[in-house]
């Protein structure tokens, strides 16, 4: 369940006479009710910087693997709360159709090869998709209040959480929720949870990019908390 935001506004008009506008007063009562008791946080303010890459150092004919960077995603709550998260790609119009390698914490051969696992990295001035990145979860290192937990996933349109098996890629598909819990697939309430993430990036062959000026890799995704 998404965070609830309720704005209540009551306007009460008091009038001594219909024709005496100067004798009226307006009372407004407003307020906000929210269950937004948890705060998401990413290392480095959420910026994953792969630095400067020189075109003449990249392949003109093959996909260029730019490696990976690890960071932690944390959820902090004011009281024990069952909460998960969803991720949406803010550059969904720009993932290149390439394979991203070394995406996993545990399997060196795991790749992100299908469209559901690729997030957009922006476009060149000429409108060419620069590349793509993947987001993988270290499912063996999840913790809630210092205790190891099991990775859980709730596919879109499903009402029962499941233990997350298969590849470790977080998908860009709308409606998929992620959380942690016990080995039976039941989410647990927590005050502080940590989700280690790996961001792996690849860019297209430079012949396809046809870059003549400095070009910024511009990937962006939004994480939204889901209260359970």
Give the pLDDT band of residue 25 (cuts 50, 70, 90).
low
First to last CA, the chain: 6
**134: nearest Cα among 172, 106, 105, 97:** 172
Return d(Cα 144, Cα 200) in angstroms, integer.
25
Which residue blocks in the chain are alpha helix, DSSP H?
A: 206-209
Quick: pLDDT tens for 70-104: 999 999 999 999 999 999 999 999 999 999 998 88
Q: Which residues pair with 196 in a beta bridge?
A: 72
Q: Delimit the domains of the chain by residue range.
A: 38-227
Distance (Å, whole) CA 190 – CA 106: 26
pTM of this structure: 0.82
* Mean pLDDT, rounded, of the chain: 84
Residue 202 is predicted with a pLDDT of 93
Closest Cα to residue 91, out of 186, 219, 3? Answer: 219
Range 121-160 burial, b when 16+ CB lie within 10 A, else e:
bbbbeeebbbbbbbbbbbbeebbbeeeebbbbbbeeeeee
Whether the pLDDT of residue 50 is over 90: the answer is no
């Amino acid at each position: 369940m998404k965070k609830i935001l309720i704005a209540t506004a009551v306007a009460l008009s008091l009038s001594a006479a219909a024709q005496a506008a100067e004798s009226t007063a307006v009372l407004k009562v407003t307020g906000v009710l929210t269950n937004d008791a948890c705060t998401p946080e990413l290392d480095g303010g959420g910026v994953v910087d792969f630095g400067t890459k020189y075109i003449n150092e990249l392949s003109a004919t093959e996909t260029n693997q730019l490696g990976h960077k690890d960071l932690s995603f944390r959820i902090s709550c004011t009281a024990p709360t069952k909460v998960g998260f969803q991720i949406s790609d803010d550059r969904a119009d720009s993932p290149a159709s390439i394979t991203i390698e070394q995406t996993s914490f545990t399997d060196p051969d795991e790749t992100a090869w299908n469209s559901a696992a690729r997030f957009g990295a922006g476009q060149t001035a000429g409108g060419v998709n620069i590349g793509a990145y993947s987001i993988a979860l270290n499912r063996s290192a999840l913790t809630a209040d210092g205790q190891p937990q099991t990775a859980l996933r709730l596919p879109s349109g499903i009402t029962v959480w499941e233990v997350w098996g298969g590849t470790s890629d977080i998908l860009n598909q709308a409606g998929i929720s992620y959380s942690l819990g016990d080995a039976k697939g039941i989410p647990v309430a927590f005050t502080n949870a940590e989700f280690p993430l790996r961001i792996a990036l690849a860019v297209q062959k430079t012949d396809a990019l046809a870059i003549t000026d400095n070009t910024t890799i511009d990937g962006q995704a939004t994480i939204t908390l889901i209260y359970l």
